[in-house]
Structure 1
Amino acid sequence: MTVVDPVDPVRNFRLLSYQSQYTLPADYTDTRTGTVYPKGTSIICDNLSTRLGVTLDWDGTINEVSARLQGRDTGTTRTVSSNPLGDRYSAKPSTFEFVVGPNTAPLSIGQKGLSAQDIVVTPVRTFTVKGATFVDVQARSSDGTVTPLRQSVQALPVADCTL
């Protein structure tokens, strides 16, 4: 007789927050567009590797988390997925981290659970905005259940940074 552990399919999947390791220490104005970015704005530094954390919550189990970065102006996307998570229940909430490499879209995603204090925020002194990117997430249970794509509310500015 074979005993099979039933999978508790993922449901009520939510993107609670997202944060970059780089933030603005003061209000900055983009000289190209005149857009003002307030102090504390998370940004993706295009000339540096940038750690991004996404805080998620869900019911049931997930076996994989995928993150999609989509260019606000270009529509270009790059999706990366975690390694199998082993039908993990939410830690209410759970944070996942991935890295955006210099001059590229995202390169990898980490599967370890993190807390908000694990992302060390580094202020940026100057930056030149090149565009903006939405951070969207999706999850899958090992039975094949896939959540709807949860989209970020605002796009993160993508810029060349000086620390």
Structure 2
Amino acid sequence: MVQPSDPVRNLQLNAYQSQYTLPTDYRDTTTGVTYPRGTSIICDNLNTRLSVDLTWDGTINMVGARLVGRDTGATRTVYSSSLGDLYSARPSTFEFVVGPNTAPLSMTRTGLSSQAIVVTPVNTFTVKGATFVDVQAQSSDGTVSNVVKSVQALPVADCTL
């Protein structure tokens, strides 16, 4: 007898973090938003590891992360491989890599906390825009969760370490 899956529901994005951070406060001249020192950024000219901490009810078989350009609306999406109807570890951390020019390369589930990313302040940077991180999960029966959107866009910059 085949066991029915426990469909995913109530997906929540608890935290998201990049391996790179701003070395000083930065005022975005496009929006007027001030990003404080230590804000996570995506380095557009380097591979950048991002982590997302998620919780959910039911099971998930796949997680998708979509990067949405704040100013352009352009998107890039990456999906995990099959996770085998995984229950939430409250929270569960997933990491993915954003390649140069914001092209996602891979996504994996880790058993690590978000502190596992070694945070590296950049020395110089030129902010080019900002990107929101949207996350959605799917159960093996095809049920998809709600789309969870990040509260604040991460600055995208050319960086020098």
TM range (shorter): over 0.9
In the aligned structure 2, how far is the partner of 1:33 from the partner of 1:78?
22
User: Equivalent of 2:35, from 34, 37, 47?
Assistant: 37
Q: Report whether the alignment pairs 1:56 with 2:54.
A: yes
Residue 79 of structure 2: aligned partner: 81
* Identity across the alignment (%): 76
Q: Report whether the alignment pairs 1:101 with 2:99.
A: yes
Please give the root-mean-square deviation of Cα atoms over the aligned residues, in Å: 1.6
In the aligned structure 2, how far is the partner of 1:155 from the partner of 1:34?
13
- Give the Å deviation of 1:34: 6.5
1:31/1:8 CA distance change after superposition, 3 Å: closer
Amino acid at match of 2:107: I
In the aligned structure 1, how far is the partner of 2:30 from the partner of 2:86?
45
Equivalent pairs counted in the alignment come to: 161
1:83/1:70 CA distance change after superposition, 3 Å: same
Residue 160 of structure 1: aligned partner: 158
User: Which entry has the higher C-alpha Rg, 1 or 2?
Assistant: 1
- Give the Å deviation of 1:102: 1.2
Moved more, 53-62 or 102-111: 102-111
User: Equivalent of 2:68, from 63, 67, 70?
Assistant: 70
Larger proportion of strand: 2
Q: How does 1:124-135 map to 2 (within 5 A)?
A: 124-135=122-133
State the TM-score, normalized to the length of structure 1.
0.92
Q: Which runs of 5+ in 1 are unaligned?
A: none
Amino acid at match of 1:5: Q
In the aligned structure 2, how far is the partner of 1:35 from the partner of 1:138?
27
1:34/1:59 CA distance change after superposition, 3 Å: closer
- Does the 8 Å CA contact 2:61/2:86 hold for their aligned counterparts? yes
Residue 108 of structure 2: aligned partner: 110
In the aligned structure 2, how far is the partner of 1:33 from the partner of 1:88?
39
1:35/1:13 CA distance change after superposition, 3 Å: closer
Q: Report whether the alignment pairs 1:6 with 2:4.
A: yes
Q: Which runs of 5+ in 2 are unaligned?
A: none
- Give the Å deviation of 1:133: 0.5
- Does the 8 Å CA contact 2:53/2:91 hold for their aligned counterparts? yes
In the aligned structure 2, how far is the partner of 1:53 from the partner of 1:104?
15
